[in-house]
Chains A and B, each alone.
Chain A
Amino acid sequence: MADTTGTPHKAAGRDKEITSSVHAAKILIVDDMVLMQRMIGLCLNRGGFENLLYASDGDQALKMIEEFMPDLVVLDLNMPTVSGYEVCRTLRADPKYNSLPILVQSASEAPEERVEVFNSGATDFVSKPINQPELLARVRMHLENKFLIHSLSDFRARIENELVLAREMQRSLLPEKASLIEIEKETRTIVESYYKASFELGGDLWGGWLLPNNQLGFYVLDISGHGVAAALNTFRVHASMARFKDTMTDPALFLTELNKAMKASFQLGQFGTMFYAVLNYETGTLTYAGAGAPRPMIISGTNVRLLDSSGIPVGVLKEPKYENHNDRLEVGESIFCYSDVLIEAPMAGGAILGEDGLIDWVKELVKSKGRTQLTANLLARFFDTQPEALPDDLTAVAIHRRSGIEEGNA
């Protein structure tokens, strides 16, 4: 029998918390020979394990496992009544004991026996006569693995919960239903919108607000990248927008102010592409400025016209120049804005849809199914060829100015 110094020690490279959990572990020693029980118990005691339980046969072992739920079992194979093999098989048949390490000790060196030991569900094997340092090393290793897996699953569960919470908070940045209903009523439009993050959190955002003198301001924003960092930046942008209320009727000025705030807080390589427009819903005039967002479409009958949304994304340069453009959105026309994944995601066959492809879809769908459910129809078609998980966040917003025909239907 090899001797051991018996000093509890921290295994190299292991977490301190894990080491202390390992030493607090409850270990059940199962052997029909009292001498063996004592010897193994003494060895584990010297190795720093105090919380030990003993059983003299398989039947007693199973009862004690049920009652005390140990962290590890050191199990003899040849015992009267219920054998070690039986104990292994019984435990492994119960999912409750999936992660319970079973360390089998046996005198036989026969390879066939080892195969049977592992087949019956043992985690590992130590040979008799017991080599104490080896037994200790194996007990430590299996306990450490168990606690590491435990702590990882705890951590994962916590992060998942936090992400759910964060996703709900992020959703709350999007316009509420009540405010959309108010906008629709006031501006005599139908607002159709869709938002989906590629991961739990996303970097897309859109919004709209009523402004003085019969005006409606609205924007779509796409922060580069996605996931947590992009999501935090959407919170930043959203919070900053409120500070620039005075400039909300002037799109270029609004983007300029927002850029100033964002340039200071965005990390290198992060930016937001954006489109901001102000529609006068009495006269139909549309004033807008772009910061590199995909070109919005104005849909008139079955015609599609693209708006010039080019511009340096917000957060890149200290003093980029944003320009106001003027256009019109007549009664019976629609404006459609979207984030780039709609034209960049690989379709069935591998090619991307592209802007031209999307315009073709819009024309076909407007012709066959009308204008006011365009977003819904487009996305239905898009998701026909897309897997659930998109490579980036997706936002699509359409504002349809109602003509008398739709008003009659509404």
Chain B
Amino acid sequence: MEYRIENTGGNAVVRFTGDITFSENVTFRQLLKDLDEQNLTKCIFDLSKVEMVDSAGLGMFLIAREQAETNGWKLGVTGAHGHVASMLKLTKLSDLLEG
């Protein structure tokens, strides 16, 4: 998994590439640190280039959601398709993560 943060005046988009799984734990925590340093009002996770999210990956989204709540910014996901979209729907996490 790789990510790129594009921040325009507090409105950020994080573009992910590759699978978001258990082994990406460290990279994902680095992303959360990076996001912490930005002055955010809103952040969208763009998953259009992600083919696979496993349960640990979903757990990481939940950690991001908690960080957003604590620091007062909004988190959303966009671009989920195929298996990723089914996972978000099955676990109803798509409802929790604002679009």
8 A Cβ contacts from B69-99 to A: 82-83, 86, 89-93, 96
Are B59 and A270 within 8 A (Cβ)? yes
A114-146 Cβ-contact flags toward B at 8 Å (1 or 0): 000000000000000000000000000000000
Per the bound structure, the CA–CA distance linking A391 and B22 in Å amounts to 9
Are A292 and B90 within 8 A (Cβ)? yes
Are B55 and A340 within 8 A (Cβ)? yes
Given contacts A268-B63, A268-B66, contact A355 B86 (CB under 8 A): yes
Neighbouring B residues of A222 by C-beta, 8 Å: 55
8 A Cβ contacts from A268-315 to B: 268-271, 273, 292-295, 309-313
Chain A's closest residue to B59 (CB) is A269
Choose from B59, B66, B90, B93 the contact partner of A309 (Cβ within 8 Å).
Answer: B90
Are B54 and A392 within 8 A (Cβ)? yes
Are B62 and A271 within 8 A (Cβ)? yes
Per the bound structure, the CA–CA distance linking A67 and B12 in Å amounts to 71
- Asked whether A334 is an interface residue with its Cβ less than 8 Å from the other chain, the reply is no
Are A225 and B62 within 8 A (Cβ)? no
- Asked whether A316 is an interface residue with its Cβ less than 8 Å from the other chain, the reply is yes
Chain B's closest residue to A203 (CB) is B55
Are B59 and A224 within 8 A (Cβ)? yes
Chain B's closest residue to A223 (CB) is B55
Neighbouring B residues of A352 by C-beta, 8 Å: 51-52, 83
Per the bound structure, the CA–CA distance linking A312 and B62 in Å amounts to 12
Neighbouring B residues of A294 by C-beta, 8 Å: 90
- Asked whether A226 is an interface residue with its Cβ less than 8 Å from the other chain, the reply is yes
Neighbouring B residues of A344 by C-beta, 8 Å: 52, 54, 83
Neighbouring B residues of A292 by C-beta, 8 Å: 90-93
Neighbouring B residues of A320 by C-beta, 8 Å: 92
8 A Cβ contacts from B33-86 to A: 51-52, 54-56, 58-60, 62-63, 66, 82-83, 86
- Asked whether A354 is an interface residue with its Cβ less than 8 Å from the other chain, the reply is yes
Q: Shortest CB–CB separation between residue B71 and chain A, in angstroms?
A: 14
Are B63 and A224 within 8 A (Cβ)? no
Per the bound structure, the CA–CA distance linking A340 and B51 in Å amounts to 15
Neighbouring A residues of B22 by C-beta, 8 Å: 225-226, 391-392
- Asked whether B7 is an interface residue with its Cβ less than 8 Å from the other chain, the reply is no
Neighbouring B residues of A225 by C-beta, 8 Å: 22, 55-56, 59
Chain B's closest residue to A312 (CB) is B92
Per the bound structure, the CA–CA distance linking A316 and B96 in Å amounts to 10
Per the bound structure, the CA–CA distance linking A295 and B90 in Å amounts to 8
Per the bound structure, the CA–CA distance linking A224 and B54 in Å amounts to 9
Per the bound structure, the CA–CA distance linking A225 and B25 in Å amounts to 10
- Asked whether B21 is an interface residue with its Cβ less than 8 Å from the other chain, the reply is yes
Chain A's closest residue to B89 (CB) is A310
Given contacts A391-B22, A392-B22, contact A269 B62 (CB under 8 A): yes
Neighbouring B residues of A313 by C-beta, 8 Å: 58, 91
15 extra interchain contacts, Cβ-Cβ under 8 A, other than A224-B58, A312-B91? A222-B55, A225-B22, A226-B22, A268-B66, A270-B59, A271-B59, A271-B62, A273-B91, A292-B91, A309-B90, A310-B89, A310-B91, A343-B83, A391-B21, A392-B55
**Which residues on B are within 8 Å of A, measured CB to CB?**
21-22, 51-52, 54-56, 58-60, 62-63, 66, 82-83, 86, 89-93, 96
5 contacts across the A-B interface (CB closer than 8 A): A269-B62, A269-B63, A273-B55, A310-B90, A316-B96
**Which residues on A are within 8 Å of B, measured CB to CB?**
222, 224-226, 268-271, 273, 292-295, 309-313, 316-317, 320, 340, 343-344, 352, 354-355, 391-392
| Closest A-B pairs by Cβ, 3 of them | A292-B91, A269-B59, A224-B55
